[in-house]
Amino acid sequence: MNRRGLLKAMGALALCPLCANGSFAAEGHHWSYEGETGPDKWGSLGGDGNACSTGTQQSPVDIARTIRSDVPRLGIAWTKHPDTIVNNGHTIQLNLPEGGTLRVGNDVYKLVQFHFHHPSEHLIEGKPTAMEVHFVHALPSGGLGVVGVMMKAGRHNATFAKIVATMPAQEGPPVKADPAIDANGLLPPRRAYVRYAGSLTTPPCSETVAWMLLTDPIEVAGADVDRFARLFANNARPVQKLNRRFLLRS
């Protein structure tokens, strides 16, 4: 890849480090959630996409048969509100300025963005929830730490209601996010979680992600789930084989 292509790829990756790898997008490998470019074809789309079909630590997975373990506590310190919100054609994503962090043991990640899937990508004992939100954090080394929160239809959630009320209806460039949106409003009170080694859930499915799926779901209004679903009827990758991995529960 030439210098211009590399810069373009880096820009795409900064915008959405979990939604699409920069080089994969820059080289024109279109992907989707159905049809000829759907999940079962991701591994044959070219470029770096082969991990989608050849990887052994793919995500999402079914959260079952967990093992109680002395995993580090999650030190969440999200002090900044999102700068921008974007409909990137695959999801609604909110991008954060520098300042928010996640401490897990000796690792300190920076919160980069969060985005949504409908229905949930991870399953709990074989069953999905209405939606799932992924908070994407990055290490200086390039590794990713993703905090996942399951979302079920129920009580009104002011943060999610504000997001669906202001989300762009059409794919396009990022626009200014409502300053009242606070990522902390999408967290349950408890921080118990299940940890496992996994991958991006979109092409190129790189196996560079430490997944931390919170045990407790949050509730959001069913009407707000329906509003999101009108834009993205299904933007969830099917579950992948666990293979020889362990699901470690705090």
C-alpha span between 53 and 183 (Å, rounded): 33
Tokens describing residue 43: 């591994």
Q: E-assigned strands of 118-179?
A: 123-124, 131-138, 144-154, 175-176
| Structure-block tokens of residue 139 | 């290490």
What dihedral angle (degrees, nearest 10) is formed by the CA atoms of 223, 225, 231, 236? -160
Phi-psi sector, 88: left (phi>0), alpha (psi -120 to 50), beta: alpha
Is residue 22 within 8 Å of 47, Cβ to Cβ? no
Distances (CA, A) of 94 to 12, 18, 34, 62: 14, 12, 24, 26
Q: In the numeric block, which tokens belong to residue 61?
A: 């997975």
Q: Is the dihedral of CA 84, 231, 14, 110 positive or negative?
A: positive
CA torsion 234→216→82→196, rounded to 10°? -80
What residues contact residue 226 under an 8 Å CB cut-off, 6+ apart?
none
Q: Tell me whether residue 137 is one of the annotated catalytic residues.
A: no
Q: Among the options 29, 81, 90, 122, which is catalytic?
A: 90
Distances, alpha carbon 3 to alpha carbons 23, 28, 29, 41, in Å: 12, 17, 19, 29
Residues serving a catalytic function are: 90
